[in-house]
Amino acid sequence: MDNSDKEFLETYSSESFEKPSVAVDLLIFTIHEGQMKVLLVKRTKSPFKDMLALPGTFVGIRESLDEAVKRVLKVKAGISDELYFEQLFTWGDVDRDPRMRIIAVSYLALVPDKMLVKLLGGSFDEVMYPVSDVVSAAGKLAFDHRKIIEYGRERIKNKTEYTNIAFELLDGPFTLPQLQDIYEILLDRPLYKANFRKKISNLVEETGEQVLEGAHRPSKLYRRKNDL
């Protein structure tokens, strides 16, 4: 460190350069029983006491953003498996937290519901909220978290159109009707079965197995083909 570095640090560390805090907030999405659901925690303290909020944490001084995200996934949802997550947007409005200046880096994580049910067990329904419910009911969500959820939902929708992100919500073999359900929920519109199958046919391969779940033709099981 040379002299100009020292100078810089002294100037920067002075009181006039008060620093904002940095947090990560997570959108942990899954598809369960025909709905998109998001993990929310009930706040126990003011501000926004008793309201719902996204799980998050402050970013440690020796911790990257991704590490902070993984820490939240582990602590708040018990997830230590590798799973899909991506950075969404960084929210920096001055008054987004009434207590102090907090800049929030939001992340989107997609988790197969099977995995969440296994991890959360009976408390699954207590922490996973249908997205359409929480964004339509005003006043339920703390801070600017409603805006963040809507932003995230829009992002998944768009990425579903031009990527294979939807597969991240599946764990193990699946049927094409199951896959189509996920696409329809993410895109929020019905799809023609035949066209859908044409489109994803080169992404999947049959396992050879079938599942029979009712008085009708059984459906074949597929797995995701090794990405090209």
Partner DNA sequence: CAAATAGTGTCTTTGAGACACTATCGT
Partner DNA sequence: ACGATAGTGTCTCAAAGACACTATTTG
Say whether residue 103 binds a copy of itself (CB under 8 A).
Answer: yes
* C-beta of residue 67 within 8 angstroms of C-beta of residue 40: no
Stretch touching DNA by CB under 7 A, among 1-9, 38-46, 104-112, 212-220 = 212-220
Dihedral sign of CA atoms 82, 85, 87, 93 in order = negative
Say whether residue 62 binds DNA (CB under 7 A).
Answer: no
216 makes contact, choosing from a copy of itself, DNA, none, with CB < 5 to 8 Å by partner type, with DNA
Three-state secondary structure readout of the chain: CCHHHHHHHHHHHCHHHCCCEEEEEEEEEEEECCEEEEECEECCCCCCCCCEECCEEECCCCCCHHHHHHHHHHHHHCCCCCCEEEEEEEECCCCCCCCCCEEEEEEEEECCHHHHHHHHHHHHHHHEEEHHHHHHCCCCECCCHHHHHHHHHHHHHHHHHHCCHHHHHCCCCEEHHHHHHHHHHHHCCCCCHHHHHHHHHHHEEEEEEEECCCCCCCEEEEEECCCC
Say whether residue 163 binds a copy of itself (CB under 8 A).
Answer: no
Dihedral sign of CA atoms 206, 210, 216, 217 in order = positive
Which one among 163, 198, 205, 209 touches DNA, defined by CB under 7 A? 198
Stretch touching a copy of itself by CB under 8 A, among 18-26, 122-130, 164-172, 204-212 = 18-26
C-beta of 71: minimal distance to a copy of itself in Å? 13
Stretch touching DNA by CB under 7 A, among 16-24, 28-36, 58-66, 218-226 = 218-226
- For DNA, give the closer residue by CB, 1 or 194: 194
- For a copy of itself, give the closer residue by CB, 23 or 36: 23
- For a copy of itself, give the closer residue by CB, 31 or 105: 105
1 makes contact, choosing from a copy of itself, DNA, none, with CB < 5 to 8 Å by partner type, with a copy of itself
Binding site for DNA (CB under 7 A): 175-177, 192-195, 197-199, 210, 212, 214-220
Binding site for a copy of itself (CB under 8 A): 1-2, 4-5, 8-9, 12, 17-22, 45-47, 58-59, 61-66, 87, 89-90, 92-94, 99-101, 103, 105
